[in-house]
Structures are given as structure tokens and as C-alpha cells.
Amino acid sequence: MPTQKDNIIVTGGAGFIGSHVVEHLLQHNYAVTVIDNFDPFYDKKIKQKNTSSFISNPDVTFLELDILDKSQLQNQLCGDYKAIIHLAAKAGVRPSIENPTSYQAVNVAGTQNMLEIARVKGIKQFVFASSSSVYGVNKNIPWQENDGLLFPISPYASTKISAELMGHVYSHLYGIRFLALRFFTVYGPRQRPDLAIHAFSKKILNNQPINFFGDGSTKRDYTYIDDIVAGVYSALHYTSSDYEVFNLGNHHAISLTEMVNTLEIVFEKKAIINKLPEQMGDVSITYADISKAQRLLNYNPQTPFNVGVANFKTWLLK
């Protein structure tokens, strides 16, 4: 008889990062239970397209569930699970300023519900998608995980810190291994349509002006999706300690001006610039020290920015 495959719960599995993680797990012979509520933050059809490669795979169980619905989570998660990869969240810095209460509910209470699932069902490995935004206006660049100075400047960032700390509580009380992965500006095929590279690319293609906030000097540590997925997969197998925080970035900060210039080169079109003041809640730079992830997760990002953007272009035009 064939051996039963280890089953991994992936929340937010129809999203940009989640759908790539699910595909990677299936390629490595796991069964996957996908949870997604198709949050209307962007069009449901986009997420359905994200899942098209695996939705009919016999090793996939898809549950259209809200992580705030604790009773449904308990009722429908009735299998044996090896780990939880918790990616589901209300995303975006700017929208969180407009609607902080809903971000607190989903990102904090929703994470606690998933930790409760882990506790009740005896799931010992919990990989959590945190964010570089937790560092906020910390001037100690590049940012290191052991720097206790976190200065968040958006409700979104504060919810991610809260969830990391709650993970520590559950790790300490119940022996759940909690690994918080601070993602740095993830991009690539299937990137959310509201994010800069996706939005700018479409506007360049359609000869529409792009909103260019500030003087172009703000910098982001853009990290390609395949590199992020490799880090998530490595964290899934990490067993050396019960609680860790890891930066998953590219260790290379790129300015807004440089990002737009790269898009112009890759798409072979000039951008029309609409200059606007800097946005509330935005930090001036994100820049990851990835030495801890390199040392403990064997994390080693492989994708130069121009190559990643070219891959994104191929996907977008398709």
C-alpha cells in the first residue's frame, strides 16, 4: 500500500504567495488543505485563476472558509495535519489606516484561531507570514531580527507584531514550533494587482500615468516569489528551536526611481509620471539582513531584480 502523504494546511492558499506555496508542496509530494475566503480586497476571479493548476488535484482539499469562523474551522479541519503555513491576512499598509479594526480582527484574532487549531489538533509546526513593515522607522539598516526596536507606523504592521508575540505565547505554553517569516516586498507572477510593480506595469503598457509618491528616493528590498517560497519550504522543515523570527528578503534595496527605470527597460516603454507627495504609513527604506536565514534555513535568494521583472512581464502578457 502507498504511504499516506503528510498533509499541510495553507491559509490564504488562493492568494499570490499562497498559490505558489501550494504548488511547491504538491511538487514535493505533500497533500495540501487550502483555506481561503476569497476576501473581496481584489477580484475573486484572479484568485480562482491562481488556483487553476491545483484545484482539481486529488491531493488538494479546498475549504472556502474565513479564519475568523472558529467553529467552521474546527468542524471542517477533521484530518491529521503535519503543519500549518499561515499566510491568510488582510494585506496592505494604506488600507489598514482607513480600516484598522478589520485588520486587527483578521490578522490577530484570525491568527489566534489558527494557533488554537494547532493546539487542539496537536500540530507542532506553525509557519507564519509576517512582514518587513514591523520594523517601521527603525534606522538600524539593514534590519536584523534581534533588534528589539520595532517602530511600526501602520495598523497593518502592528497586527503582524501582535501575531508574532502571540506565536511566542503558544510556543511557550503548548510546545508549538512557531516560525515568523518577515517577508520583504514580494513580487513576481500572480502578484496582487494593487502592488506597485503590477500596477505600474499595467499603466506603462496602457500609456497611463503612474502615481509616483515622493522624490523617488524611497527604497524597497524586492524579493522574488520563488525565493520566498524556498524560504517558506525550508522553515517548514526547521526543527532546531521552538520559536524564531527570520527575515526573508533579497538584501538589496532598490529605489522607486530605479524600479521604474527597470520596468521601462523590461517593457521597452517610457513611463508617464504623476508626481505626488509621500504617503502616510510608508517607510523610507526596507532592507533585510538575511544572514540569520542563510545560516539557519540555508536561505539564499537567487533572482536578480531585472530577471524577476522579466519573468513577471512574461506572465502578465500571457
Rg (C-alpha) for the chain, rounded Å, is: 19
> How far out from the chain centre does Cα 240 lie?
23
Closest CA to 272 of 200, 213, 188: 200
Q: What one-character DSSP code corresponds to residue 277?
A: P
- Helix (H) or strand (E) holding 99, with range, is none
What is the rounded distance in angstroms from the CA atom of residue 275 to the CA atom of residue 23? 39
Amino acid of residue 191: Q
Residues 6+ apart with CB under 8 A from 71: none
Which residues are identified as catalytic?
156
Handedness of CA 197, 201, 202, 208 (dihedral sign): positive
Per the CB < 8 A criterion, the answer to whether 187 and 250 are in contact is no
Total Cβ atoms within 10 A of residue 30: 19
Closest CA to 87 of 49, 50, 142, 141: 50
DSSP assignments along 152-197, one per residue:
--SHHHHHHHHHHHHHHHHHHHH--EEEEEEE--EESTT--TTSHH
- Helix (H) or strand (E) holding 236, with range, is helix 225-236
Rounded-to-5 percentages of helix, strand, coil across the chain: 40, 20, 40
Cell of 243: 520559536
Residues 6+ apart with CB under 8 A from 69: none
